[in-house]
Amino acid sequence: MSSNIGVMGHPIGHTKSPVFQQAGLDELGIAETFEAWDVAPDELEEKVTTFRATGFLAACVTLPHKQAVIPLVDELTEAAEAVGAVNWIFNRDGKLVGHNTDGTGFLRALKEKTGFDPAGVDAVVFGAGGAARAIVYALKLAGIARLTIANRTVGKAQALASEFSEGRFKPDAIGLSRDELANCAPYAQLLVNTTSLGMAGGPAEMATPILADMISADALGYDAVYAPPMTKFLREVENAGATSAGGMTMLVYQGIEGFEMATGQKAPVDTMFAAIEKAFKSG
């Protein structure tokens, strides 16, 4: 192994993580190269074993390995257990700890980049996959007032809502039809797209889960998709006169949280954002 920190996934060519992570390492004078490791599913166990090596810091984990690594680590943090996925593995003296920073990264993106505090608000989350799980967990922690999970397959939305229901926190689960969305979306202060609708290279690049006429001008629309930076969903948000925010900020903040836990140092946030913004501008 040539480096003690990196990101693994399959395929991995699309990842932007090394761009901003390397900028952070360089700024702090940490002599490591943040590498991208293309690890096929049948190579995963062997790769994770190498993370126990003396001096190894951490590995960021992306698709399709976020669930598959769970049995390969020694311990899960509360966040990883609740979300049911690992996006960072830390080496603690040979013991591997699986953690999830997607939810807290999302909250930091909201608060620090848009000034939005989700405590006490009504929200709609579109989608019921891995990103939705992390965001529902985060919104529950943040003290959201009311949450609706809207998904094409209502059964998946119901399963997710049921899993996170506790005390007075009981998310609603609905489909994506206009009739169903009409009862909640226009009144929501926060709308979050976690589906692949609008994703570059995805099956529905020009699609959106909701149109402008159902979005309040007082709302914040956040898209967990970060490529392209302006999705069809975010265009609809802006057409409604509402505030839009793209997923690049969540990507960077989940990475910053992992960076700080791996290095034990405060991340140079401005430097890391500047690096990824430059990379997006240059294509």
User: Catalytic positions, please?
Assistant: 66
The Cα–Cα gap between 276 and 20 comes to 5
Tokens matching residue 121: 């608000």
Beta-sheet strands, E only, within 226-270? 243-246
Counting runs of H as helices and runs of E as strands, what totals does the chain give? 11, 12
- Smallest CA-to-CA distance from 87 within 61, 67, 109 is with 61
Q: How far apart are CA 215 and CA 188, in angstroms?
A: 8
Q: Residue 18: is the preceding peptide bond cis (ω within 30°)?
A: no
- Is there a contact between 114 and 192 (Cβ–Cβ < 8 Å)? no
The torsion angle over the Cα atoms of residues 84, 88, 91 and 92, rounded to 10 degrees, is -60
Instruction: Could you list the beta-strand ranges (E) of the chain.
Output: 5-9, 34-38, 58-61, 75-76, 88-92, 95-99, 122-126, 146-150, 172-174, 190-193, 220-223, 243-246
> Which one-letter amino acid corresponds to residue 200?
A
Name the residue type at position 173.
A
The closest of 73, 140, 128, 75 to 103, measured between CA atoms, is: 140
